Amino acid sequence: MQRICFVLKVRRDRLEEYKRRHREVWPEMLQALRETGWHNYSLFLREDGLLVGYLETPDFEKARAGMAAREVNARWQAEMAPFFEQIEGQRPDEAMRPLEEVFHLD
């Protein structure tokens, strides 16, 4: 199982709306994430907009490709793109760059 951690930057003026949207993730989006191998997926948001994501998956590239093929993901990413800084024309899921894991206790 791969452990994946990534960071993105949410616009400060959109923080509350971003949090609200994630309290109301569409059921079909949640189902698609589960079906494509996104496990133990969590997002953490700092008050300055730093977003830290974490998930576990057997194969991150396969999980990303599985979501990229889903219509619900295209809709979700289009709605969420305006919330982010510095994604330069990419969808938020395309801008995810896994951080290198340098230590794991277990």
- Calculate mean pLDDT across residues 50-65: 97
pTM: 0.90
The catalytic position among 22, 34, 39, 46 is 22
Q: Is residue 106 part of a domain?
A: no
Quickly state the pLDDT bin for 76 (edges 50, 70, 90).
very high
Q: Provide the CATH number for the domain around residue 79.
A: 3.30.70.100
Residue 90 is predicted with a pLDDT of 82
Structure tokens at 46: 């700092």
Helix axes 27-35, 60-68, angle to 10 degrees: 140
**44 strand-pairing partners:** 52
Residue 91 is predicted with a pLDDT of 84
Q: H/E element holding 31?
A: helix 27-35
Tally the domains of the chain: 1
Q: Is residue 17 part of a domain?
A: yes
> Which single residue is written with the structure tokens 């990303």?
64
pLDDT digits (tens, 9 = 90+) for 3-34: 999 999 999 999 999 999 999 999 999 999 99
Phi, psi at residue 102, to the nearest 5°?
-110, -10
Active-site residue 104, yes or no? no
Q: Is residue 103 part of a domain?
A: no
